[in-house]
Structure 1
């Protein structure tokens, strides 16, 4: 998926349908001059329904269609005939979509399962026909209920991508290069910071035709939890990953310090993210000789509690071991 096709934030206006009016009809036939009330009920207005679709990975199909309006319920008629319900509108969204009220910013619900359906705005109820109001006191009511009015709402759709492994690191740490080597994804790669502006997804093929999904997430900078840099726009994507793969380049001034900054940004954004399983990879390790690797390993053994690996995407070093480790973590 190219970066330009990945849309993870959409605002839209949704409107349900009015309920149909109940009928105030009185029964009439050739030899029945004064038949009783037989007005039918009005039909229900159409709903706007969001539906999870596991075949979608982005909200791009909603980027240029921002208004959705459901059908109105038909009016009731004679012979106690109920009017037809208004047409429901179904909007397919990828799994991991969070729906917010644009005015209050309150979360309405989340779509996390394929085929899951949630009503955003309900259609108005149809009004009851006059035969409902017949009584011994009033045998020919000449009134019926009007339908309930439609409901309108401005909503915001935010996508938090669902991936097995999320790549976490500073800009230019080699995340996109690793994704391009392990998967068929073609992320933009260059030797400057913030090459990746939107998440990229790739499928890592493993043994026996098995696979798992990896997400390359734009680089974190210090202060991201407060919205600095790309801030909230990418931190939310890390929430839904099963495993966090921290990528720190071998030429970093202080590998432990970089890891602690990354960890602190995640903690400040959402402390629950630190409960996820994690693995640390020292990338670009083809620049290190055995002596330097040994020195770094001694420091990491002393200061880090998490497991770590030395890898190089360009030199194809340690990648098989990395896939084996990730697969084991995902299945344990």
Structure 2
């Protein structure tokens, strides 16, 4: 299924039904009085966060969504029926904003969360409403109110605890496949990953966190080069970034330090808040480096990169060093979740 993380839709709630002007007509009942009922309300349009969805592809090809209008009022004191509501199922993490002004209207952050995005119009009054002691034969009635009509932009930002950052072919897909249940495409050419992949990492019984892998970044990504810039938004909700670096590139002319600095520069250009997130350095493909050279190469990289944060040495292919990294990530994410909302109920993934 094609991955779509942005879509534009038009929605229209139903108009309210018109009120009815009617009088009771029965044999031997000369002055039956008014009996026109109210119109029914128009249908609402709701957005529902569905944890079974992970893309907005359904809205790419179905842009117009309308609710039914309310039924008109009728004689004999009959009120019109309300129009049927429309429920639009969207992935968890969808941001709903006004397509014209850019104002963010809602964010769907919890599975099962349902919000009204367009209100149906109220039904009009029938002449039964206007009956009084001094107006015994009212002929007034009111039309139904129009329903809301909006043009919306839907933007998906995946909900993940950890985001993977790096150049194409740095080994991000191999890493997420090694530590989680995700099975991304893995190949020996750049840009194998064409859309974000999510993987759930199981640390122990009832203990897990979610990792997001996006297409690799290249120099100039903040200006639109490559594919990764289109999906950097998916890292904005993460609590930790893992900067994965290929420490043993096949091309001897490629400098891993220069590539790593280019990634950091592009990240800062794209979003300073994303740049300021906690970031760990993960040196991958150590299996490609002779054992006697590993310590010296790692030390040289860290020195030239001028890195002062946490450093992890792994081989995603052989899974060497992955377990200590996973345990450290889990502890960091757990503490970050508790620090963000100390009084909130604990995330069930971290309560054991």
Question: What TM-score does the superposition give when structure 1 sets the normalisation length?
Answer: 0.89
Structure 1 residue 197 displacement after superposition: 1.2
Structure 1 residue 34 displacement after superposition: 1.8
Structure 1 residue 83 displacement after superposition: 1.4
Choose which of 288, 292, 295 in structure 2 pairs with 1:293: 295
Change (3 A) 1:184 1:328: same
Structure 1 residue 232 displacement after superposition: 4.5
1:123 and 2:125 equivalent? no
Residue-by-residue CA offset, 1:47-74 (whole Å, 9 max, x unaligned):
1111112232222444443332211101
What residue in structure 1 maps to residue 142 of structure 2? 145
Choose which of 153, 164, 168 in structure 2 pairs with 1:167: 164
What residue in structure 2 maps to residue 32 of structure 1? 29
1:67 and 2:64 equivalent? yes
Distance 1:262 1:285 in 2: 20
Structure 1 residue 155 displacement after superposition: 2.5
The question of whether the paired residues in 1 share the 8 Å contact of 2:216 and 2:228 is answered with: no
Instruction: Count residues in correspondence.
Output: 329
What residue in structure 2 maps to residue 44 of structure 1? 41
Structure 1 residue 269 displacement after superposition: 2.4
Residue-by-residue CA offset, 1:213-244 (whole Å, 9 max, x unaligned):
21111111223233333355201111122221
Q: Secondary structure, in 3 states, of the residue corresponding to 2:279?
A: strand
1:251 and 2:248 equivalent? yes
Distance 1:274 1:175 in 2: 19
The question of whether the paired residues in 2 share the 8 Å contact of 1:166 and 1:238 is answered with: yes
What residue in structure 2 maps to residue 266 of structure 1? 267
What residue in structure 2 maps to residue 310 of structure 1? 313
Question: What is the RMSD of the two structures over their aligned residues, measured on CA atoms?
Answer: 2.4
Question: What TM-score does the superposition give when structure 2 sets the normalisation length?
Answer: 0.84
The question of whether the paired residues in 1 share the 8 Å contact of 2:217 and 2:229 is answered with: no
What residue in structure 1 maps to residue 283 of structure 2? 282
| Structure 1 unpaired stretches of 5+ | none
The question of whether the paired residues in 1 share the 8 Å contact of 2:13 and 2:149 is answered with: yes
Distance 2:42 2:279 in 1: 49
Distance 1:141 1:260 in 2: 79
What residue in structure 1 maps to residue 330 of structure 2? 327
Structure 1 residue 105 displacement after superposition: 3.9
Change (3 A) 1:264 1:118: farther
What residue in structure 2 maps to residue 22 of structure 1? 19
1:54 and 2:55 equivalent? no
Distance 1:210 1:5 in 2: 31
Change (3 A) 1:34 1:232: farther
Structure 1 residue 294 displacement after superposition: 3.3
Structure 1 residue 112 displacement after superposition: 0.9
Change (3 A) 1:231 1:209: closer
What residue in structure 1 maps to residue 152 of structure 2? 155
Q: Which moved more, 1:285-294 or 1:88-97?
A: 285-294
What residue in structure 1 maps to residue 80 of structure 2? 83
